[in-house]
Structure 1
Amino acid sequence: MGYESMWGPDGVGHPADLRPDVPHPARMYDYYLGGKDNFPADRAAAEKALAANPEFRSTARANRGFLTRAVRCVADLGIDQFLDIGTGIPTVGNTHEIARTADPGARVAYVDNDPIVLSHARALMAGSGHGRTTVIQADLRQPAALLDAVRAVDLLDLSRPVGLVLAAVLHFLRDEDEPYRAVATLLDALPSGSHLVLSHGTADFIPAVVRDRVTGVYDKATAPLVGRTRAEVRTFFDGLDLLDPGVVTVPLWRPDTPPAPGADHVSMYGAVARKP
């Protein structure tokens, strides 16, 4: 998700400068995954982050695997509409592709506020074979306005259970951005039976000196990187019913194959929960 906010004080979207000379987390993440939708500034910053913590690339890929399994799980439970916030630059295994393997009629609304993410996502959705999908410009830090934008598009029926996807996005919100309030506001708008799919970066398993080097790289980008502890990530699920195995590092969430050694120390937690 982009964090040079595209929302003015009136809540109306405004064009944003692409700022190709400033590293952007979504484009850096694209680079970690081997994508090509990034600029030299993004690649240089990503290489600095990798130099500080070489596991960044494998962590990004582990998170994509978690997203695939989690969305598939929720779709298999009967959820046929998804709200994916902070989707990032489209790559293989997008939420709508996963959901449609369970239900070809599944509907997906993608939300982001980065202009590059939006342009790539809209180009992707313009092609055939993507089913009932839409791309919406909105900012997670303004959850009420975000929900209004989703309702205005009229693709999702928020009176029916929704799969809310927040994959690797909340760690780009500082505490003063009130990430817990944002998630609570979104969940409050969804009915019983909705599910939350969430992953979040952590510094629980890396030395403080490595953490400081990595956060220093992101401090010079368009968004910070705020690693939270397992207990802090668990708080996002307060009031929800966690699906087994609860909050774990992403490779350990219902793996399709036996996890590799060290999977319990990957710097990303993930979980899925149901709203009672």
Structure 2
Amino acid sequence: MNQHENRDEETLFGSAPPPREEVRTDLPNAARMYDYYLGGSTNFAADREAAEAGSAAMPHAREYARANRAFLQRAVTFLAGNGIDQFIDLGSGIPTVGNVHEVAGQFNQRARVAYVDHEPVAVAHAQRLLNDLSGVTMTLADIRDPEAVLSAPGVAELLDFSRPVGLLAVAVLPFVPDQDEAREVLATYRGVCAPGSHLVLSHISALSATPQQVAAAEEVMARTPTPVRWRAPHEIEELLEGFSPVDPGLVPLPLWRPDSTVTEDEVNIANAYGAVGRLDG
């Protein structure tokens, strides 16, 4: 490990020990790359290098990350405004400024949020950030193992699944490349949710990206521990199975209930679709 990486670890973990799971600072990680795209500091040199390679392959990678964050905020605002006061954020990454607990807290200061991620650095950093907050937890678990997620104390002891829950799957399902597995994973989570629960879903998809750029971006991520799959809109729609989409349905991310006028260029460079679905009784 070089001197720069040592400084990185000191900055991220402070005086607290790193998580028990081995942290590979020499391998890029999707959660830390995403943090870099958003302008965060919870990333290592390998993450920054891979993120720049991703930007070279798909020039609008940063816009994609920002569009997802803005969509998450609008969707949580919608759910909280409609009475949802508990959320589980699957593959949350690092819950930085403007994340779920802050948005939901504007509507209900007693809102409960369970963040879940499988990346040790993201979890350790988040636990430091959230340590003094009540009603907010961060769990180290793989969202592809719903039973482990749902039985984890930070989830099971915080959320009441007999009441409606906001199930957030924002920019995470590309990391479950197999379509059948992605559907099964969501079906398991859906199965424990009460009627009135909502799924918030976003997914990378080619709008302005060319087939060559998609292939190059997938190739960059194939060199990391977390390969991705871009999905066509009809494949993303399949992931909403069991939920009734609320207006305007599955649309390019910037067009989902925008706060202001959206340009065609902003729509295209986001390269992602999103939807919110309601679980009916």
Normalising by structure 1, report the TM-score: 0.90
Q: Once superposed, which parts of structure 1, at least 4 consecutive aligned residues long, lie more than 4 Å away?
A: 150-153
Equivalent residue of 2:74, what SS?
A: helix
Q: What is the CA–CA distance in structure 2 between the aligned matches of 1:205 and 1:231, rounded to whole Å?
A: 17
Percent of residue pairs identical: 46
Identify unmatched segments of 5+ residues in structure 2: 1-18
Which letter maps to 2:174?
Answer: H
1:269 aligned onto 2:254: no
Aligned to 1:7: none
**Structure 1 position 89 matched with structure 2 position 94:** yes
- Structure 2 SS opposite 1:178: helix
User: Contact conserved, 2:138 with 2:154, CA < 8 A, in 1?
Assistant: no
Query: Alpha-carbon deviation of 1:125?
Result: 0.8
- In structure 1, list runs of 5 or more residues that go unmatched: 1-13
Which residue pairs with 1:240 in the alignment?
243
Further displaced range: 88-97 or 59-68: 88-97
Distance 2:180 2:140 in 1: 18
Mark the CA change 1:177 to 1:18 in structure 2 (over 3 Å): closer, same or farther.
farther
Deviation at 1:239, TM superposition (A): 2.2
Q: TM-score, normalised by structure 2?
A: 0.89
1:191 aligns with 2:171: no
Read off the aligned partner of 1:246 and give its amino acid letter.
G
Amino acid at match of 1:109: A
- 2:144 aligns to what? 141
Matches within 5 A, 1:56-67: 56-67=61-72
Structure 2 residue 184 is the aligned partner of structure 1 residue 178: no
CA distance in 2, matches of 1:156, 1:218: 33
What's the secondary structure of 2:229's corresponding residue? Answer: coil
Partners of 1:56 and 1:110 lie apart in 2 by: 24
Instruction: Output the aligned Cα RMSD.
Output: 1.6
Corresponding residue to 1:55 among 60, 76, 89: 60
SS of corresponding position for 2:68: helix
Of 104, 108, 124, the residue aligned with 1:99 is 104
What does residue 17 of structure 1 align with?
22
> What's the secondary structure of 1:36's corresponding residue?
coil
Hey, what's the Cα distance between the residues in 1 that align with 2:100 and 2:125?
A: 15
- Give the match for residue 45 of structure 2: 40
Distance 1:151 1:274 in 2: 24
Structure 1 residues 152 and 224 mapped into 2: Cα distance closer, same or farther (>3 Å)? closer
Task: Rate the CA distance shift 1:150–1:117 in 2: closer, same or farther, 3 A.
Answer: same
Partner in structure 1 of residue 74 of structure 2: 69
Question: By how many angstroms is 1:264 displaced?
Answer: 3.4
How many pairs were matched up? 261
Corresponding residue to 2:157 among 141, 154, 179: 154
Q: Which amino acid aligns with 1:74?
A: L
Q: Which moved more, 1:238-247 or 1:66-75?
A: 238-247
- The question of 1:124 aligning with 2:129 is answered yes
- Does the CA-based 8 Å contact 2:139-2:154 persist in structure 1? no
CA gap of 1:249–1:152, structure 2 versus 1, over 3 A, is: closer
Cα offset for 1:261?
2.6
Cα gap change, 1:104 to 1:190, in 2 (>3 Å):
same
Aligned equivalents of 2:26 and 2:179: distance in 1? 26
Q: Which residue of 2 aligns with 1:251?
A: 254
Q: Work out whether residues 149 and 155 of structure 2, in 8 Å CA contact, stay in contact via their aligned partners in 1.
A: no
